[in-house]
Amino acid sequence: MSSPSTNAAEYRGAPRLSWKKRVAFSLVAVVLVFGALEVTARGYYFVRNLRAPPPAPVQAAPAPSPTPAIPTPSPTPDPARLHPYTYYEDDGQYYLKPGYDDGAIHINAKGFRGREFDANKTTGVARIMVIGDSTVFGLAGEQCPFPAQLETMLNQAGSGPHVEVINAGVEGYDSVWCVHAMQRKDWLQYRPDLVVIKVGWNDFYSSDIRQNRSPDWMGRVVSSSAFLTAIRNLWFEKIHPLTGIAAPTQIISDDDIRAFTPHGFVENVRTMIEQSRARGASVLLVNQPTLLDERMSPAALQLMKYPYFTTSPKQMLLLYQRYDAALRGLALEENVPLADISHAFDGLDKTKYFLDVLHVTCDGNMLIAKALLPSVRTAVAKVVR
């Protein structure tokens, strides 16, 4: 039997892995662990989708009512997270589940939020498609989202063509995902006369300010990963509000923001404009109302949700202004009308209408619809004669 000293000597003489190999093995281990977590997360969403309530039978579109009522507020779901009414496809992007209906959210047979409509547009009907994110998709209650309220208001006048408004908003979509879904699902096959584009908040929250491009690669990786998305949502929706921990506010400077231009966002919206025009539709751009303001009350500050790069309301307002200026510049370049609804809540207590920086209550959606009404009426009058 060898002595302990002999074993130690033999061990010291054994070949050792180089630091490069140790790093390589560590990276492989990390990738394998992350891969397992990603597969687990996607498996969870897949099983959850299978267990979701079965799709509702497709019903014919109801006859338009001459004087439908403006809706009352409804309960709101948690924003910016995957729900049973979404599902993944093999392109790695999620979409709304056709035929889903839980009594509060209805996804029609064509995969849009809201009531059914005929694929072939009826003669004499003006069709509007509103493309965007969760601020377009709206809250629970089918008459709560502003596209549904806008349709009601447009048809209440009793003059002009009957108007159909298709809600093509999807929670969590940024401008990249809107372009992708618009192409993959061929949204424009339904021949809208007018395409209304209201998107940008998810671009805003994933902006890479210091590299002067948007959205950043980190945000894209997180958005494409089911596991990282779940972790992000868990932190921002559940853990962060309880801890009071704030991210460093000096990741970027005010000058960084003033020098920033959201080029990616602009080009994605430009693509939507070009594709809409190529299919014979007119386009209306819409900017964003927001809780952000020069002077914010303590109650308003309690509603703030911060991006990863700042916890400064002032910096968020500066960035909001950069996105707004970029959208206005694009409207001029492309000769597209822009509905300025950024002042729709001026003079009001915003805490009564905003749930956070960007999402509003059903009453807030009604104010947005009212603010959009003149611009949409003008646009419809030009395309439907």
Residues 175-186 pLDDT 10s: 999 999 999 999
Spatial distance between the Cα atoms of 359 and 297, rounded to a whole number of angstroms: 18
Provide the pairing of β-strand 94-96 with 86-88. antiparallel
Spatial distance between the Cα atoms of 198 and 375, rounded to a whole number of angstroms: 14
pLDDT at position 172: 92
In this predicted structure, the answer to whether residue 13 has a pLDDT above a threshold of 70 is no
pLDDT at position 73: 28
Nearest to 368 by CA among 214, 126, 78, 138: 138
CA 267 to chain CA mean position, Å: 17
Tell me: cis bond preceding 161? Omega within 30 of 0 counts: no
Question: Mean pLDDT, the chain, as a whole number?
Answer: 82
More confident residue, 307 or 62: 307
When pLDDT is cut at 50, 70 and 90, the band that residue 219 belongs to is low
User: Residues of the chain with pLDDT > 90: what percent?
Assistant: 59
More confident residue, 169 or 72: 169
Q: What number of other Cβ atoms are within 10 A of residue 39's Cβ?
A: 12
Tell me the backbone φ, ψ of residue 324, rounded to 5 degrees. Answer: -65, -45
More confident residue, 144 or 63: 144
pLDDT at position 66: 39
Nearest to 264 by CA among 309, 213, 316, 327: 213
pLDDT at position 58: 35
Determine contact, residues 226/35, Cβ cutoff 8 Å.
Answer: no
Across 62-76, 139-153, 269-283, 344-358, least confident range: 62-76
Spatial distance between the Cα atoms of 275 and 306, rounded to a whole number of angstroms: 33
pLDDT at position 209: 84
Across 15-24, 211-220, 238-247, least confident range: 211-220
When pLDDT is cut at 50, 70 and 90, the band that residue 56 belongs to is very low
User: Residues of the chain with pLDDT > 70: what percent?
Assistant: 75
Rounded to 10°, the helix 313-334/263-278 angle is 30
Most confident of 45-54, 100-109, 306-315: 100-109
For the chain, the C-alpha Rg in angstroms (whole number) is 24
Question: What mean pLDDT do residues 187-206 have?
Answer: 96
Nearest to 168 by CA among 71, 60, 281, 78: 281
In this predicted structure, the answer to whether residue 221 has a pLDDT above a threshold of 70 is no
Spatial distance between the Cα atoms of 292 and 351, rounded to a whole number of angstroms: 11
In this predicted structure, the answer to whether residue 216 has a pLDDT above a threshold of 50 is no
Spatial distance between the Cα atoms of 350 and 341, rounded to a whole number of angstroms: 14
Spatial distance between the Cα atoms of 184 and 190, rounded to a whole number of angstroms: 14
